[in-house]
Amino acid sequence: MESLAGDLRQMQRTPLHDSHVEALRQAGEVRTYAAGEIVGEMGSAMDHFVYVLEGEIEVLDPITRKPYLPHSLGPTQFMGDIAFLNGGTYALPMQAATETQVIRVPRAVMLDLMAKIPEMSDIVITVFAARHRRQVEDRDSAITLIGADSDRAIRRIASFASRNRIPVRMLDLETSEAREEASACSIPRDQPAVIFGKDEVLENPTPALIARRLGLGLDVCGPEVFDVLIVGGGPAGVAAAVYAGAEGLSALVIEDTAIGGQAGTSSRIENYMGFPTGISGGDLVWRGEVQAMKFGTRFAMPLRVCSLARRPDGVFCATLDDETELCARAVIVATGVQYRRLPIDRLETFEGAGVYYAATETEARYCRNSEVYVIGGGNSAGQAAMYLSRSAKHVHVMIRGQSLAASMSDYLSSRLEADPRVTVHFGTRAKALHGTDFLDGITIEGPDGPRDCATSGLFIMAGAAPNTGWLSDLIELDDKGFVKTGNAVGRNSPFATSEPGIFAVGDVRAGSVKRVASAVGEGSVVISKVWEYVND
């Protein structure tokens, strides 16, 4: 917590300019809070920008309701974090420590001000982003997960939170701290749980429930018709979101798992221009998400588009898995690909309980000091192996071919071969899985025949199946399910599909280059064609 306070103090040495404060006065209202009055309750919407004129606002511990930070927000400082841009909620409660006078500006008005005054926007977003990053790193949150080490439902939420940069506190079931919190919430000491705040235990917790509680889901008022609906939150979708917002298009991004897509699971991308020391896929796409929100693009997740139809007036309507209907004048298909489910008995039994399709900090935590196995010969598999080797006892990479040269970048394959903590097994596949509730072993088959291996983690990063089943036969697909575009369907734009108004970018597009940089490029360029279509 000291580090967070220090960061905030450092950032506030360059407060908003006097002209910015005057703009806030003109746009908002001055309000006075009495000492002890709640200014922002955890879980409540960040529907106002709150700038402190006089007094002091302190963060409260969500459990004890006592002051959380050694230093509070004072004059020239402001409340909130990056979730403000997307209409999120307060992660921690805040109250007036003394009689406090603030300027309150409605969120929509503040976003408009930030668009008109870029210098003010830069300061606000820098502070918001740094606060959120520190909250994630220090796990400062009103959400406590107990038992992710032993319960797959809690484990799914932990993975969802990690991939979406949602700050959560994680406690192992047998720790004294977990027992104390369980006792305070009147739940059995050996029961996994998700606790929100002081004593609210969430029943039947799911990632979707957590998202709704934090304001990450949909908040669409009335029969709103967007200019463009972007389906998929990977690099291509987020790049499209940035440029859509910058061009003044009303845009909504729908993502079913995590902003970042498959790229978001890459621990270190070293061949993306501008980052000579590398950057994680999650960090790269998160920066793009912040940019897009700055321009007014909205994000909603975890929500899946189940079907798409076109009305007689030409407007597209998407039906989501929660039966919500969204309408837009144009649609960008950016759903990418997903790793294929391999034909291994009991695979689904262990998914999330030893079998994983991403290698992030959360999954690595469950495999610490264990022998782990990675299936796949592409860059994602190589990056996962290098990342897991930091904490695993040993990493085994299994590929069915006899070489990595055709599927993996040279810099990665060279590192795998040189790392004593990594062994590449050619001509090898997983044949069987073993365990009761959680994976504890696999049988692999290679040139020397089958053998049993103890492991708590099998990472599958092989095959690429396009996510196009929801398109309802509206557009032409190739024989593998990828979206056909451009010349293949008689269109001038390389991103236009067979149906006017529907565009495809990134890995889901037939013939695309399966690289993050190309996906970002396609998502950026396609918006010019979307703008032309919408304004025709």
User: Could you report the per-residue pLDDT of 441-450, keeping only the tens digit for each?
Assistant: 999 999 999 9
Domain co-membership, 250 together with 275: yes
Q: What is the share, in percent, of the chain residues with pLDDT greater than 70?
A: 96
Domain co-membership, 331 together with 474: yes
Residue 7: which pLDDT band, with cuts at 50, 70 and 90?
very low
CATH classification at residue 173? 3.40.30
- Residue 132 within any structural domain of the chain: no
Q: Is the pLDDT of residue 328 over 70?
A: yes
Q: How many domains does the chain have?
A: 4
Domain co-membership, 357 together with 332: no
Is the Cβ–Cβ distance between 298 and 253 less than 8 Å?
Answer: yes
Is the Cβ–Cβ distance between 298 and 248 less than 8 Å?
Answer: no
Domain co-membership, 356 together with 456: yes
Residue 222: which pLDDT band, with cuts at 50, 70 and 90?
low
User: Could you report the per-residue pLDDT of 250-259, keeping only the tens digit for each?
Assistant: 999 999 988 9
Residues 6+ apart with CB under 8 A from 182: 146, 188, 189, 191, 193
Q: Is the pLDDT of residue 9 over 50?
A: no
Spatial separation of the C-alpha atoms in residues 189 and 205, rounded to whole Å: 18
- Domain final residue, candidates 428, 445, 460: 460
Helical spans, DSSP H, in 265-409: 281-294, 347-350, 361-366, 379-388
Residues 6+ apart with CB under 8 A from 317: 308, 309, 310, 311, 325, 326, 327
Domain co-membership, 102 together with 55: yes
Q: What is the DSSP letter of 339?
A: P
* Three-class SS state of 308: strand
- Residue 259 within any structural domain of the chain: yes
Question: Residue 12: what pLDDT?
Answer: 44
Question: Residue 1: what pLDDT?
Answer: 38
Spatial separation of the C-alpha atoms in residues 39 and 94, rounded to whole Å: 6
Question: Residue 496: what pLDDT?
Answer: 97
281 or 292, which is more confident = 292
Spatial separation of the C-alpha atoms in residues 88 and 205, rounded to whole Å: 19
Q: Label residue 159 exposed, middle or buried (CB < 10 Å: 0-12, 13-18, 19+).
A: buried
Q: Taking the CA of residue 41 as centre, how many other CA atoms within 13 Å lie in the half-sphere pointing to its CB? A: 8
Query: Can you read off the two tokens belonging to residue 325?
Result: 């209907």
Q: Domain of 94?
A: 2-107
CATH classification at residue 427? 3.50.50.60
- For 161-165, what is the mean pLDDT? 89
Residue 433: which pLDDT band, with cuts at 50, 70 and 90?
very high
Domain co-membership, 93 together with 230: no
Of the candidates 489, 492, 473, 482, the one whose C-alpha atom is nearest the C-alpha of residue 513 is: 482
Question: Residue 491: what pLDDT?
Answer: 95
Domain co-membership, 80 together with 165: no
- Residue 218 within any structural domain of the chain: no
230 or 176, which is more confident = 230
Query: Can you read off the two tokens belonging to residue 175?
Result: 């720790």
* Three-class SS state of 283: helix
Q: Is the pLDDT of residue 474 over 70?
A: yes
Query: What's at 366, amino acid-wise?
Result: Y
User: Could you report the per-residue pLDDT of 36-80, keeping only the tens digit for each?
Assistant: 999 999 888 999 999 999 999 999 887 778 887 666 899 999 999
Is the Cβ–Cβ distance between 244 and 227 less than 8 Å?
Answer: yes
Residue 4: which pLDDT band, with cuts at 50, 70 and 90?
very low
Question: Residue 443: what pLDDT?
Answer: 96
- Residue 358 within any structural domain of the chain: yes
Q: Which of 228-232, 246-250, 329-333, 362-366 has the lowest mean pLDDT?
A: 362-366
Characterize the bridge pairing of strands 316-320 and 305-310: antiparallel
Domain co-membership, 449 together with 488: no
- In terms of phi and psi (left: phi > 0; alpha: psi -120 to 50; beta: otherwise), the region of 106 is beta
- Domain final residue, candidates 160, 181, 213: 213
Domain co-membership, 298 together with 206: no
Question: Residue 3: what pLDDT?
Answer: 42
Q: Is the pLDDT of residue 394 over 80?
A: yes
Strand intervals (E) in 182-300: 193-196, 200-201, 225-231, 251-254, 298-300
Q: What is the share, in percent, of the chain residues with pLDDT greater than 90?
A: 61
- Residue 113 within any structural domain of the chain: no
Is the Cβ–Cβ distance between 509 and 482 less than 8 Å?
Answer: yes
Residue 120: which pLDDT band, with cuts at 50, 70 and 90?
very high
- Residue 121 within any structural domain of the chain: no
Domain co-membership, 355 together with 390: yes
- Residue 161 within any structural domain of the chain: yes
- Residue 92 within any structural domain of the chain: yes
Residues 6+ apart with CB under 8 A from 408: 377, 378, 379, 381, 382
Characterize the bridge pairing of strands 298-300 and 305-310: unpaired
Residue 390: which pLDDT band, with cuts at 50, 70 and 90?
very high
Of the candidates 210, 207, 224, the one whose C-alpha atom is nearest the C-alpha of residue 89 is: 210
Domain co-membership, 514 together with 420: no
- Domain final residue, candidates 180, 213, 246: 213
CATH classification at residue 85? 2.60.120.10
Spatial separation of the C-alpha atoms in residues 334 and 156, rounded to whole Å: 24
- In terms of phi and psi (left: phi > 0; alpha: psi -120 to 50; beta: otherwise), the region of 468 is alpha
Q: Is the pTM above the cut of 0.85? A: yes
| Arithmetic mean of pLDDT over the chain | 90
Domain co-membership, 306 together with 322: yes
DSSP 84-101: GGGT-B-SS-EEESSSEE
